[in-house]
Each structure stands twice: as C-alpha cells, then as structure tokens.
Amino acid sequence: MIIAAVLSLTAAASALADTTQVAGVKYDNGLQVGNTPLVLNGAGVRYKAVFKVYTAGLYLTRKANSPEAVLSAPGPKRMHIVMLREINASELGKLFTRGMEDNAPKDEFSKSVAGTLKMSEIFFRIKKLNAGDSFSVDWVPGVGTTIIVNGKPAADPIKEPEFFSALVKIWLGQSPADSNLKDALLGKPAALPPNS
C-alpha cells in the first residue's frame, strides 16, 4: 500500500516536471513538430495594461537566449498561444500585422505580405477567440508556416520563410508587444507583472 502511494506520488511529480505552468495554462516541456523533438524555450503572459490577454510558449530544437539565436536555430519551431480572455480575432490579426511591420526589416516584411494576408483572412474567419482557445504557429523547413487553431490547421502552409521570422519578431523584435513576455520566451527570469 505504501509502495503504491509512493509510486503514485512519484508519477504525479514526474508528470508535473514534464510541464511548465503559466497563469494556470500548462505547457509541455517537450513536444514534436514535423517528427522533430522540440523543447520549451520559455513561456510567459502577454499583458495589456494590467489585464492578462494570453500566454505564449516558444518551442525550438535547442534552447536559445537571444532573438538572433532563436531565428537562426535549425529545424522546426513553434509559437503556441492560449487565450486568457475573449478577444476579437480580426482585431488580434491587425495587431499582429502591425507588430510584424514595426519589427521586421522592410525587405523581410515585404516578402511576408502574402502570408500576412492569409493570416488576416484566418483571423477574420474565426471572428472571436474565447478564453481557453489556442493557436500555434509552426515553422517546418521545406513545408513552411502552418497556423493551427484549437488543434486544427486553419489553412495551407505559408511557404515564405520570412513570414515566420517576421511573426516571431512581434514578441522578440526591437519593439516587442510585451518586453516581459520577450524575456520569458527567451528563458529569462520572469519580471513582476504590471502594477503588482
């Protein structure tokens, strides 16, 4: 009986160690994209003023602690976002487009325009994202970028590699959406949330 209880507690501790929790959202510490194992580089919360908007987690083939290392990391990559509140999906798509424009060099952004339009169409079609809804942006070399909403691909892959690079710069660029989230995605210690 005691041995069974100890084994049960050990299994539970092991399961907890396999995930990282951010604002009540569990992120697996490892997963597969395109048959390649990825590790959770970092995860954090996107705040707008004092409100928690979503959590985000970045997955790479190996840990990276700078935007340059993230972008040059080989193999597949994933940015996974889980909503913490209801938001107009079309508005979120516009904010992402503006974030890409603000952070990507002009030539990179111009090469990602077709993908940006496709992303905007996806968010326009969805209309609304509720608390608990999720989407991933997966980059697989030779395939492109796939946007996955609530576990299902939302469209054919976006072929241009510049699109994923410009998209990730929303969070990791010179003018990130949230500098605390940028640090968290790069695996740096979490700063205090706004007005805490």
CATH number, position 103: 3.50.70.10
Predicted confidence at residue 3, as pLDDT, reads 47
Answer yes or no: is 14 within a domain. no
Residues in contact with 167: Cβ distance below 8 Å, sequence separation at least 6, in sequence order: 79, 96, 100, 112, 119, 137, 145
Answer yes or no: is 3 within a domain. no
Answer yes or no: is 11 within a domain. no
Answer yes or no: is 102 within a domain. yes
Answer yes or no: is 7 within a domain. no
What global pTM score does this model have?
0.86
User: pLDDT tier at 50 (50, 70, 90 boundaries)?
Assistant: confident
Average pLDDT over residues 135-157: 94
Answer yes or no: is 196 within a domain. no
Q: What is the pLDDT of residues 93-139, one digit of tens each?
A: 888 999 999 998 898 889 999 999 999 999 999 999 999 999 999 99
What gap in Å lies between CA 29 and CA 2, rounded to an integer?
A: 30
Q: What percent of the chain has pLDDT over 70?
A: 88
DSSP for 128-180, written as a single string: EE-TT-EEEEEEETTTEEEEEETTEE-SSPB--HHHHHHHHHHHHSSS-S-HH
Residue 173 structural domain: 20-185
* Count of structural domains within the chain: 1
Answer yes or no: is 2 within a domain. no
